[in-house]
Structure 1
Amino acid sequence: MTLKLGEWTKFSGGGDNCVEVLRTEDEVLVRNSNRPDEAPQRFTFGEWEFFTQGAKLGVFDLA
């Protein structure tokens, strides 16, 4: 999936826990969709690239 500039994208693995991601001009924001008023986590494009690559490789899978 490609993130669209300025648009929150929601991901839900099932249930009520959802994560939303937003791409801006110079960073990626991540928030809990159940608490959209709280400050999002901020990532540079480089940080986001490393994270998504690790996720695809299973680096963060729970044992």
Structure 2
Amino acid sequence: MEIETKGFRVDLSEARWYKSTRSGPNCDNCVEVAFVGGAIALRDSKNPTGPALIFTPDEWDAFVEGAKDGEFDL
């Protein structure tokens, strides 16, 4: 599946998806990430053929830093 967004043309059929090493084998609420075509894609691991969110490198960096800083903690 090829999509064009945010100035990227991304072919998700060529993506190599990674799940966090902290995700256990019995975990049912995981996401997977792929670095493809200069963009970062994120999808639900339970629905690999479903939609994916596409981030620019700057957006991804901001998200990761926010997560590290506890910005999204409830």
Structure-2-length-normalised TM-score? 0.69
For 2:55 and 2:63, how far apart are their aligned partners in 1? 10
Give the unaligned 5+ runs of structure 2: 1-14
Give the unaligned 5+ runs of structure 1: 1-5
Name the one with the larger strand percent. Answer: 2
Aligned match of 2:60? 48
Divergent runs of 4+, >6 A = none
Rg larger for: 2
Aligned match of 2:16? 7
CA offsets, 1:9-45, max 9 Å, x none?
1132763111100011310000000001012000000
What count of residue pairs does the alignment treat as equivalent? 57
For 1:60 and 1:21, how far apart are their aligned partners in 2? 19
Identity %: 44
Q: Aligned-residue CA RMSD in angstroms? A: 1.6
